[in-house]
Amino acid sequence: MFTPLQTSMLGRGLEDGKWDLNLVNFRDFTTDVHHHVDDTPYGGGAGMVLQVMPIKKALDSLPSKGKVIITAPQGKTFNEEMAQKWAEEDELTFICGHYEGFDQRVYDLADETVSIGDYVLTGGELPTMSMIDATVRLLPGILGNAASPVEESFSHGLLEYPQYTRPADFEGQKVPEVLTSGNHQKIAEWRHKEALRATYLHRPDMLENRELTDEEQHMLKE
């Protein structure tokens, strides 16, 4: 399931040794012939529950773990700030459930429970891949242009400003004149204002936790 992380930019980073991926299957830590990792819930009810023992043994098999994260819908919602913090860690271990819930005692094996949003997926692999992608792309040398991760959406608490490339006129839709003016100060002001406008229109919640400068308050009034 984890091949997407091994292709494109992250894949190149893996080959170049800029980061490393170690996949462990907790099914390999079972003792029964069928390698069962789940069982029926105590107290009855539908579905199966992932057992604590194979997961504990899989974790114990690791020479080192770093921060241990469980992916589950009831966790704290993942965001760019968490990706930035995680990118500073030497190592992270993700525990992915599949199809069913974890025995409550599995949560005690982790440092954090993290969700990617208010919806339920069939497994923790896709959330884990999303979080690894968001984190690893911030590591030095992963993206081609070293300046790009800090310039973009969320890193200044605003959405990204609109970008344009050739042609300057697409079926009558013209690129804003300021961008072809060559006036770098005017371009920077325009971008800042547009980032603020996009955030105000599409994600006003992001402005609630952000102190606006006098200049920004003036821009919003315009």
Among 7, 21, 81, 117, binds ligand ADE (CB under 6 A): 117
- Pick the closer one to ligand ADE by CB: 128 or 199: 128
- Pick the closer one to ligand ADE by CB: 10 or 96: 96
SS (H, E, C) 95-112: ECCECCEECHHHHCCCCE
What single string gives the DSSP state of each residue in 4-42?
GGGSHHHHHHHHTTSS------GGGG--STT---EEPPT
Q: How far is the CB of 96 from ligand ADE (least distance, A)?
A: 8
Q: Is 71 in the site for ligand ADE (CB under 6 A)?
A: yes
Q: How far is the CB of 76 from ligand ADE (least distance, A)?
A: 10
Distance between CA atoms of residues 38 and 47, nearest Å: 10
Q: For ligand ADE, which stretch binds (CB under 6 A), given 100-108, 114-122, 164-172, 204-212?
A: 114-122
Q: How far is the CB of 192 from ligand ADE (least distance, A)?
A: 33
Q: For ligand ADE, which stretch binds (CB under 6 A), given 19-27, 32-40, 65-73, 156-164?
A: 65-73
Distance between CA atoms of residues 159 and 135, nearest Å: 19
By CB under 6 A, the count of residues binding ligand ADE is: 11
Residue 113 and residue 75 in contact, taking contact as beta carbons nearer than 8 Å? yes
- Each residue 119-158 as x (binds ligand ADE by CB under 6 A) or -, in order, gives xxx--x--x-------------------------------
Alpha carbon 121 to its chain's center? 15
Q: How far is the CB of 52 from ligand ADE (least distance, A)?
A: 18
Alpha carbon 216 to its chain's center? 28
Q: Which residues bind ligand ADE (CB under 6 A)?
A: 71-73, 115-117, 119-121, 124, 127
